[in-house]
Amino acid sequence: NAGVTQTPKFQVLKTGQSMTLQCAQDMNHNSMYWYRQDPGMGLRLIYYSASEGTTDKGEVPNGYNVSRLNKREFSLRLESAAPSQTSVYFCASSPHGHPVPLFGEGSRLTVL
């Protein structure tokens, strides 16, 4: 089915380990996003990419890096995971100029 696909769905890390969350969309959307969702905090934007080749910081970028590999793929990397990064991560995409993102199913990350 068309949409946004994230991998892995679940991951447990130890403090200091690194990992990459992968995201791909097949809707030919220009813009892609990474959010994190924590209880009582709502969805907070980590990074976004308005188009292939560009990335910008969102509200909570510290501790993360991103790569817009091509129009379809947008990855999120944690170089040295911390317990504060335990969260549910959502990738999303939207057409250019359309302020309503479509979300992937989410990735649950636990950092011990």
Partner 1 sequence: RKEVEQDPGPFNVPEGATVAFNCTYSNSASQSFFWYRQDCRKEPKLLMSVYSSGNEDGRFTAQLNRASQYISLLIRDSKLSDSATYLCVVNPPGSSASKIIFGSGTRLSIRP
Q: Kindly tell me which of 13 and 46 has the beta carbon lying closer to partner 1.
A: 46
**Cα 93 from chain centroid (whole Å):** 10
Q: Output 13 or 91, the one with its CB closest to partner 1.
A: 91
Q: Which residue is associated with the tokens 């990738």?
A: 91
19 in contact with partner 1 (CB under 8 A): no
* 14/42 with CB nearer partner 1: 42
Q: How far apart are the first and last CA of the chain?
A: 34
Cα 37-109-68 angle, rounded to 5 deg:
75
What is the C-alpha R_g of the chain?
13
Residues of this chain, 23-52, that bind partner 1 according to CB under 8 A: 31, 33, 40-45, 48, 50
Task: State the residues that interact with partner 1 by CB under 8 A.
Answer: 31, 33, 40-45, 48, 50, 56, 58, 90, 92, 94, 97-106
